[in-house]
Structure 1
Amino acid sequence: MQTINEDIKNGTFKPVYLLYGEEAFLKQSYKKKLRAAISGDDTMNYNYFEGKGLDVNELISLADTMPFFSERRLILIEDSGFFKTSSEALAEYLPMMPDTTCIVFVEEAVDKRNKLYKKVKDLGHIAEMKRQDSAQLARWAATILAQNGRKITPSTMNLFLERVGDDMENIRMELEKLISYTMGSEVVTAEDVKVITTVQITNKIFDMVAAITAGKTKRAMDLYEDLLTLREPPMRILFLIARQFNQLLLVRELQASGADRGTVASKLKVPPFVAGKLSSQAAAFTKEQLISYVQTCVDAEEAVKTGRMGDRLAVELLISQPRSSVR
């Protein structure tokens, strides 16, 4: 990302860029920055393509077209799948592309063995937009608050991130709510965070799993009803519960091998504070117990898919099943 920022600052652009990774906010942010810097408001020399099945010959023909009364032509290609499938024609073309054309690819996933990936790496710049860790997110959020005349303590920031999660787009929206709510105040308090921020569904799932395994059926059912009220489909809730148990199983295995919190966070691709919560929860189980919970989730899903049980009832039975009866 530093390379892109320097290119934008200096006004010297590489012929091709690839932005990819899990963090959609960063990808969209740098996509917009590159477009603004390269083409600005020029729509005549800007072309946008999205989705799989794009005509490579059309793209090459357009890239060969000289810009009209401008230094550059910008072609932005998003979610093409070119970096997961064969795209040799485009890879072979890039070295011959006129220096008046710049192509920016925005993708979610790539195969680094892909010929086009290697060619972009040779000729241009590749930026992986990873999920940011808790320290990076805290600094970023604190900067936004400071720009709006707000201060926040480390403990309150931790509370904020625990509630809103690690998705930067969601963090940005929650910060806007928090800034509006604290108009006239210099310091954001824990009470402000609790009142105005929306707890992410993953946090509710975490609490639900904790309640299920502690035998607190009423608490788990209340959380389930909250999610249904938010129009979360029962099968998505079941999927998230199953994913939580799978994560706990992986954490338990990592703990058995002596992995620290940083390693757990890296393996699961979650912020360290989330890894800490998972580690604490996983420590209450044996590996065999977690395998049993995962299998119970699989059985519930199968019962729904085969028509033996309704989706809502399947989740209710999973929630109400005593820990001692889980296979």
Structure 2
Amino acid sequence: MDLKTASKDIQNNNPAPIYVCYGAEKYRINEFVDFAIQKLIEPEHRDFALARYDLSETPLETVLEDAEEIPFMVPRKLIIIRDSSVLAAGKDNGKIEHRAEALLRYMEEPVDYSILLFWVNAEKLDERKKVVKALKNKACLLPFQPMNADELLTWLIRHAKKQECECSKSVAEALVQAAGTTLGILSAEMDKLCLHAGRGGTLTEQDVEKLVARSTEQNVFILVEQIAAVHLEKALTIFYDLLKQREEPIKIAALIARQFRIMLQVKELAGQNYSQQQIASQLSLHPYAVKIAGEQARRFESAKLRSILAHLARLDYQMKTGAIDKVLGLEMFLLRLGA
């Protein structure tokens, strides 16, 4: 079952007896947990119908005993279980002993008045475990992996719409370029933009430029974008702004090198017919970052990217040994690149 189907079933008050949420996107897992609480448990029932457990503190058998206990004064219970060891890979260093066979028995005849929602703190489940194999057949497993570029922009547009604001794709892209791809940060920045626009308002790229503070990493990201587009004047403006913010030139050079290294890696992997998602997984990057790096890389030959990286390596050595003034060295690098 996928997330869309699971959400629809919950919306229609037809939940599965067991949900297992896992993956890198903890913000989206939290969104799903909040959605399940809102749709399945009435606000006035939550004192009796909502339970939370952490398996680092509570044995699994205790949780299942609670699930099997008939609810008091409410029609059903939602039990949210945080887990870092029972279903995840890796050694369990906790002091709590869990009997996974208890969950296997429960899965055979789950009670109809309790819903178990496991929140697994891991990117993947340990499919070697017998209990995980059983859950694949008996439960609703929901992976929450980073969204691809289009999904991320759609998510932002939908987030704005919930607050009765209009957000175009170009504005969503401007926000990602300014704030990065961390969903918690994007959500907070979108809330700020919507508050500024007001209900029924339309967000603009000027709003993003005015209201969203860019991190050093995002400034360098845009600086490299300007270099790739041969907009030298804009690239230098960003560089001088970073210096005014007292950013260390060696750090700026290292971040520029990182972005060009990503461009080269993306270009080479794409040439080997890797998909965007595969490249993101291989390089441990967000798919949106891979998309932008791929677009930037198309403007350079692989040999040129290698030459730039070699130049940056020499510049790094010269800056650290005092062979060249750090600011002057970076200025000369940018001017030569834009020539």
TM over 0.5: yes
Aligned-pair Cα RMSD in Å:
4.6
Instruction: Give the corresponding residue for 1:190.
Output: 205
Task: Call closer, same or farther: CA 1:58–1:152 in 2, change over 3 Å.
Answer: closer
1:177: Cα distance to partner? 1.4
1:276 to 261, 281, 292: 292
SS of 2:47 mapped into structure 1: coil
1:84: Cα distance to partner? 1.9
Instruction: Give the corresponding residue for 1:58.
Output: 62
Matches within 5 A, 1:73-84: 73-82=77-86, 83-84=88-89
1:147: Cα distance to partner? 4.8
1:247: Cα distance to partner? 3.2
Task: Call closer, same or farther: CA 1:97–1:161 in 2, change over 3 Å.
Answer: same
Contact 2:55 2:83 in 1 (8 A): yes
Matches within 5 A, 1:166-177: 166-177=181-192
Instruction: Give the corresponding residue for 2:18.
Output: 16
Matches within 5 A, 1:146-225: 146-183=161-198, 186-207=201-222, 223=242
Instruction: Give the corresponding residue for 2:94.
Output: none
1:132 maps to a residue whose letter is M
More off after superposition, 260-269 vs 207-216: 207-216
More off after superposition, 207-216 vs 137-146: 207-216
2:31 to 21, 29, 32: 29
1:295: Cα distance to partner? 8.7
Matches within 5 A, 1:231-270: 244=259, 247-257=262-272, 264=279, 268=283, 269-270=285-286
Task: Call closer, same or farther: CA 1:4–1:159 in 2, change over 3 Å.
Answer: same
1:159: Cα distance to partner? 2.0
Q: Deviations over 1:84-131 (max 9, x none)?
A: 258633442332564133211112322351433222222220111222
Contact 2:23 2:123 in 1 (8 A): yes
Q: Aligned pairs, how many?
A: 307
Q: 2:57, 2:326 → 1: CA distance?
A: 44
Q: 2:72, 2:134 → 1: CA distance?
A: 27
Percent identical residues: 18
SS of 1:44 mapped into structure 2: helix
SS of 1:151 mapped into structure 2: coil
Contact 2:22 2:29 in 1 (8 A): yes
2:28 maps to a residue whose letter is L
TM-score by length of 2: 0.68
More off after superposition, 99-108 vs 212-221: 212-221
Instruction: Give the corresponding residue for 2:107.
Output: 95
Instruction: Give the corresponding residue for 1:306.
Output: none
Contact 1:20 1:27 in 2 (8 A): yes
Q: Deviations over 1:172-199 (max 9, x none)?
A: 2212211222248843322122111232
Contact 1:46 1:73 in 2 (8 A): yes
1:140 aligned onto 2:145: no
2:291 maps to a residue whose letter is A
SS of 1:29 mapped into structure 2: helix
Contact 1:39 1:45 in 2 (8 A): yes
Task: Call closer, same or farther: CA 1:34–1:271 in 2, change over 3 Å.
Answer: same
Unmatched 5+ stretches in structure 1: 304-308
TM-score by length of 1: 0.70
1:48: Cα distance to partner? 1.0
Task: Call closer, same or farther: CA 1:260–1:130 in 2, change over 3 Å.
Answer: closer
Q: Deviations over 1:23-43 (max 9, x none)?
A: 222211111122233333422
Q: 2:237, 2:329 → 1: CA distance?
A: 8
Unmatched 5+ stretches in structure 2: 92-97, 334-339
Contact 1:7 1:13 in 2 (8 A): yes
